[in-house]
Structure 1
Amino acid sequence: MATKIRKVYMGVPVPSWPKAGFDINIDIQNIEGVLADIQLKSELDVEFVGGDVVRVPSDVEELKKKIVDVDGILAFNLSSGVGMLFRGIVEFGIPTILFSQPYSGHDWSGVAGMVKAGKKVDVLATSDYNEIFSRIKLIDVIRRLRETKVIYIRNGGVDPTYAAQVKEKFGVEILSVQHERLLSIYDSVDQKAAEKEADRWIDNALKVVEPSREEIVKSSRMYFAIKQLMEEEGARAITINCLGLFGQNALPAYPCLAFSKLNDEGWTGVCEADLASTLTQLMVGYIANRPGFVSDPVIDTATNTVIHAHCVAATKMDGPNNSPAPYIIRSHTEDNKGASLQVLMRVRQKITVAKLVGLDTMLISTAEITACPDVDRGCRTKIATRVTDARKMLDNWSGELHRVIFYGDWIEDVINLGKLLDYKVVFEG
């Protein structure tokens, strides 16, 4: 589905900036050509619609009547004195970007205050129209979130109040599913397909340490069962109380391998029924077009290091269309059962570390992978990362334990997405 963005051109009837007697139609004609080129070159499926000219307050009211079924608004101030008009457009509640080229006026100066007031708005004050690409991407992320369904498997289901709040703020739908339904699908999975999948895992591994082939086959059956459940529900993400349910013998296999492969394929699988990390992985993952690695962080102030460890890790941290990292098939650390991966991630890779806290704060930091520790403690996949100030991180830690790691530096995009989704960004360390 195309991301639909409404074009709006603002200019008062008698402008003073950029100069007296300026004809805004000159700029409109130029911008129309630029946007047509952007739509053609964009890697995203984007459609610019409209092209409304707003000059007086009544034009804003007319626009409000016409503006339906769009994902965002791209507004251009072509003269000074359009601040009131723009504020009226922002009040529609649709993610809105103001493009303010040099000498077009001073109305860019009011946007920061709107952001602080919780309005869904951002501004580009630039002569480079190519910067529009970056904001198109964020509007596309918001559209994808609104179309995303998350399956939640845990005894008792999701808190309905929390689910309603997530739906209202981010558009993400959370669906509670009983684990018995997953078991029923698991029992129907073709055994030969599961064996073939298990052999693929084994053949591509550097080695297999603890699990038997039978255990890997069970994990492969779990992958097919989870994927079928997601397809039946039209879900893009799933999170399961894996530790609790497996410990109660309510699951025949851990979903670690299943989540690894789902994340490799561009879906989202998150352990421990952790909705905050699931939402984080969706939001930053949609920006980066690559999976996240949910981790248990370990801080070592002596070496200014944070070690991130977990038993679920994608092998394609660069994204689904890229080469996999080498891996070893291991058991789940905490009980030495099941099958999981020890993924050898890329050393010297810069990473972004994020965590959504509540619905209004995103914790964020960057680091660099310095090693993949091979020690018989902690979860199977481990990366040691060099941070700015481990002691400061320790002293100011919040947001419970888990963090989500992504290859690359996505700080600026996360900040700008926050302006359109009304969350604040807090830097850790």
Structure 2
Amino acid sequence: MVSFSVLFSVLSESLWFHFRQMTPVWASEHGEKAVNGYAIGYSLQPTTHREVPAMRTRNVTAPGKLSRRGFLGGVGGAAAALTSIAAEAPATSKPSTGGLPHGAPLRVLPLLVYQIPVRRERTSWRPYGGLKSREDVAAEARRIKDELAALCGRAEFPVEVLPLAMVGNDAEAEAGARAECDALLVFASGGAQHWLERLAASGKPNIWFLRHRSGPFYLWYEIAHWRFLRKNEDTIKEEHMDAGDIVVDEYDDVLWRLRALYGLKNARGTTSLAVGGLAAYSEPGQRLGPAHAKDVWGYTITPVADAELVAALAAARNDRNVMQKAEAQAAELLAQPGVTLKTERRFVVNTFLAVHVLKELMAAAGAANLGVAHCMGGLIGQLDTPPCLALSLLNDEGYTAFCHTDYTHTPPGVLLRWISGKPSFVNNSHFPHHGIVTLAHCAAPRRMNGKDFEPAEIPTHFESDYGAATKVEYRKGQALTVIIPNLTCTKWFAFRAEVLDSPAYDICRSQMDVTIDGDWRRLLAGMQGFHTVTCYGDYLREVAYALKRTGIAWENVSKEA
């Protein structure tokens, strides 16, 4: 194990080298001027130690030269504090275990980007900012550590915050850009613009945290927009970040962005089981969906032929233990409070047999998602029930299981499940009118808040009037996220909604009339696609934040939260 003395020695040598090679020169806030041959304006420029004027301090060997002993004596306390923080173990969230299974944790590297100004006589030498000394930097590092620990304590999803990295020179910026993590959380207190540009170009999402009133003032709170994003011009020039990646003071705004990135991480690379082969609900979806899922989302799609499914079902029916388990599971479901059987009990048993087979096929493929082709026709005969109740049960366990093998609605369904930590309900859209629209399908999850089961009837599938489906009673007044992906996989429409009622029209069994919180006429005029993805809660901003990293267009007719 590396001793503290060795770490201190390495850090001290690094700081001494950096102090000699990268002393900052700053221009007046009122404009650029030439200093030592450089035209600058709040841009860090390298100089040699001979260009630095004498410092007002002890332990100097000559005007303009600070002795190494004096430097190390002054840096001792602050360097020890920074080394201690760098050696800290990662902070991790502790999400509850009572809901759906969690995904892989989001690994976040926080970085404090800083520069300590050096006094220069008869010219402007210091920028905006409250970090004026090594002690200030060490105190800020401790503050960040405590704040991130508190942030992890509030995260309901798995997140691992790595030890704070310090960025005060080119090498440290490069190390931060190359770090193995999922995202960078950049505390941009000061420092060179090209350091921040290197981090932004790392290929990892960058979230900036700036201080206005939450602690020592950060220089980049002043100049993030015009200097970093616009490169001193009127239009955005930065290619890797936008204003939506920058947070001021509020850690809640960091948390929801991390939630979005956690969802995106777990949605990408999905292995999907296509039971019955590829059979989208539209010609564009059939033609474009599979390639879109693979190219944009990194999906692996594993088809399951009808013959393979039929053979697996036959083997299960001939297995006494499997059949006894299916009978017991059916009895357990029907005994749950709020569950009312409105069809023949045998269809519920057949459903649990189907669930057993589907889960075995998914396990063999390493899949967490499945779609079922021909769900309104041939599959009913194979299962001796429509797949509706089986899909509902799988979604309630944390899988993503949808009607049709349609890769227009599968990616938004998977993304929303991981962002929200709740089941996604894929359903049919209807004609918006008077600020209302109906959403309905026969395969609705019951565990809509991710923990508790909503009351539900188990009737037949509507179109076939056969087998077992679900009619869920949704909570009146419940906020919803609603996404309608188009059929060419290029755009998602979205709005915030509220459950008005769970009616009983002669349509797909699980139904909700919802009020559209937004410009429903705009939705009506421009709506594309057909199948809709819905979940409990408002996650529009998270979905939008994740989606901008995919190249898919986003049209939200609701006001931003």
Contact 2:108 2:162 in 1 (8 A): yes
Equivalent residue for 1:325, pick from 443, 449, 454: 454
Which residue of 1 is the match for residue 107 of structure 2?
4
Equivalent residue for 2:418, pick from 271, 286, 308: 286
Deviation, structure 1 residue 239 = 0.9
CA distance in 1, matches of 2:313, 2:242: 43
Deviation digits for residues 284-313 of structure 1 (CA, Å, limit 9, x no counterpart)? 121211112211122252x43211111110
TM-score normalized with structure 1 length:
0.86
Deviation, structure 1 residue 249 = 4.5
Which of 1 and 2 has higher RCO (CA within 8 Å, sep 6+)? 1
With over 3 angstroms needed to count, the CA separation of the structure-2 counterparts of 1:424 and 1:120, relative to structure 1, is farther
The within-5 A match list for 1:293-304 is 293-299=425-431, 301=433, 303-304=434-435
Equivalent residue for 1:213, pick from 332, 338, 345: 345
With over 3 angstroms needed to count, the CA separation of the structure-2 counterparts of 1:95 and 1:173, relative to structure 1, is farther
CA-based RMSD: 3.1
Unaligned runs of 5+ in 1: none
Deviation, structure 1 residue 156 = 5.1
Deviation, structure 1 residue 380 = 0.9
Contact 2:482 2:495 in 1 (8 A): yes
Contact 1:111 1:122 in 2 (8 A): no
Equivalent residue for 2:388, pick from 243, 256, 265: 256
Count of aligned pairs: 420
SS at match of 1:299: coil
The within-5 A match list for 1:61-76 is 61-64=174-177, 66-68=178-180, 70-76=181-187
Contact 2:264 2:419 in 1 (8 A): no
Paired AA for residue 350 in structure 1: A
SS at match of 1:338: coil
Structure 1 residue 185 and structure 2 residue 315: aligned? Answer: no
Equivalent residue for 2:514, pick from 374, 380, 385: 385
With over 3 angstroms needed to count, the CA separation of the structure-2 counterparts of 1:366 and 1:63, relative to structure 1, is closer
With over 3 angstroms needed to count, the CA separation of the structure-2 counterparts of 1:20 and 1:218, relative to structure 1, is closer
Deviation, structure 1 residue 122 = 4.7
The within-5 A match list for 1:34-113 is 34-40=147-153, 42-64=155-177, 66-68=178-180, 70-79=181-190, 82-102=192-212, 103-104=217-218, 105=220, 106-109=222-225, 110-111=228-229
With over 3 angstroms needed to count, the CA separation of the structure-2 counterparts of 1:156 and 1:37, relative to structure 1, is closer
Equivalent residue for 1:240, pick from 372, 375, 378: 372
With over 3 angstroms needed to count, the CA separation of the structure-2 counterparts of 1:11 and 1:410, relative to structure 1, is same
CA distance in 2, matches of 1:121, 1:282: 27
Structure 1 range deviating more: 355-364 or 89-98: 355-364
Deviation, structure 1 residue 20 = 8.4
Paired AA for residue 5 in structure 1: V
Contact 2:272 2:369 in 1 (8 A): yes
Paired AA for residue 112 in structure 2: Y
Contact 2:339 2:455 in 1 (8 A): yes
The within-5 A match list for 1:162-173 is 163=290, 165-173=292-300
Contact 2:412 2:533 in 1 (8 A): yes
Structure 1 range deviating more: 89-98 or 251-260: 251-260
Equivalent residue for 1:151, pick from 273, 284, 306: 273
Contact 1:202 1:329 in 2 (8 A): no
SS at match of 1:415: helix
Structure 1 residue 133 and structure 2 residue 255: aligned? Answer: yes
Give the structure with the higher percent strand.
Answer: 1
Deviation, structure 1 residue 183 = 2.7
Deviation, structure 1 residue 184 = 2.7
With over 3 angstroms needed to count, the CA separation of the structure-2 counterparts of 1:410 and 1:130, relative to structure 1, is closer
Unaligned runs of 5+ in 2: 1-103, 118-125, 281-285, 317-321
Which residue of 1 is the match for residue 19 of structure 2?
none
Which residue of 1 is the match for residue 545 of structure 2?
416
Structure 1 residue 310 and structure 2 residue 441: aligned? Answer: yes
Contact 1:328 1:343 in 2 (8 A): yes
Structure 1 range deviating more: 383-392 or 325-334: 383-392
CA distance in 2, matches of 1:229, 1:114: 49
SS at match of 1:339: coil
With over 3 angstroms needed to count, the CA separation of the structure-2 counterparts of 1:19 and 1:249, relative to structure 1, is closer
Contact 1:5 1:49 in 2 (8 A): yes
Which residue of 1 is the match for residue 67 of structure 2?
none
Which residue of 2 is the match for residue 197 of structure 1?
329
CA distance in 1, matches of 2:416, 2:238: 22
- Choose 1 or 2 for highest CA Rg: 2
Report percent identity of matched pairs.
Answer: 21
With over 3 angstroms needed to count, the CA separation of the structure-2 counterparts of 1:243 and 1:115, relative to structure 1, is farther
Paired AA for residue 416 in structure 2: V
CA distance in 1, matches of 2:502, 2:382: 33
Deviation, structure 1 residue 263 = 1.2
Deviation, structure 1 residue 335 = 2.1
Deviation digits for residues 194-215 of structure 1 (CA, Å, limit 9, x no counterpart)? 2222333444465433x32223
With over 3 angstroms needed to count, the CA separation of the structure-2 counterparts of 1:41 and 1:342, relative to structure 1, is closer
Deviation digits for residues 380-421 of structure 1 (CA, Å, limit 9, x no counterpart)? 1111112245443222111x2111111122122222223444
Structure 1 range deviating more: 216-225 or 112-121: 112-121
